[in-house]
């Protein structure tokens, strides 16, 4: 639909269901390195991307518990002390802390 609205541009869809904004950023940077330099870039954002972008421990636990494919490493981002975006990949996705299941 966007291509129809913008006939003077070549529209390339990089949307992947389930991706975070961080994963889309990584995919976009890879495309740029491969020589795909757009005149316009459109970014989509949804509130649930906050969880996917920062990958807090509880989100890692949720993903790990529903994963049937084995170990998964998902990228996430943090701002450093200077306010710059830093990308990370956590592996393994989730591990229980020592003694977590201990019951006295």
pTM: 0.71
Backbone angles phi, psi at 42, to 5 degrees: -115, 130
Give domain status of residue 67, yes or no.
yes
Is residue 100 one of the residues assigned to a domain?
no
Is residue 97 included in any domain, yes or no?
Answer: no
Q: Looking at the domain assignment, is residue 40 inside a domain?
A: yes
- Boundaries of domain holding 72: 2-90
User: What average pLDDT does range 79-103 have in this prediction?
Assistant: 80
Residue 85: how many CA atoms within 13 Å on its side-chain side? 10
Total tally of structural domains belonging to the chain = 1
Q: Would 50 be classed as within a structural domain?
A: yes
CA distances from 56 to 15, 16, 31, 43, 53 (A): 23, 21, 28, 23, 9
* pLDDT (0 to 100) of residue 60: 82
Inside any domain, residue 104:
no
Give the per-residue pLDDT at 87.
93
User: pLDDT, tens digit, for every residue of 41-68?
Assistant: 877 888 888 988 998 888 888 877 777 7
């Amino acid at each position: 639909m966007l291509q129809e609205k913008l006939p003077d541009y070549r529209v390339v869809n990089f949307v992947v269901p389930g991706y975070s904004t961080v994963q889309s950023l990584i995919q976009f940077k890879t495309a740029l390195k491969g020589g795909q330099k757009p005149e316009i870039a459109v970014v989509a954002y949804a509130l649930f991307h906050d969880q996917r972008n920062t990958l807090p421990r509880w989100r890692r636990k949720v993903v790990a518990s529903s994963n049937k494919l084995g170990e998964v490493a998902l990228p996430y981002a943090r701002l450093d002390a200077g306010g710059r975006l830093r990308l990370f990949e956590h592996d393994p996705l989730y591990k229980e802390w020592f003694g977590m299941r201990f019951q006295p």
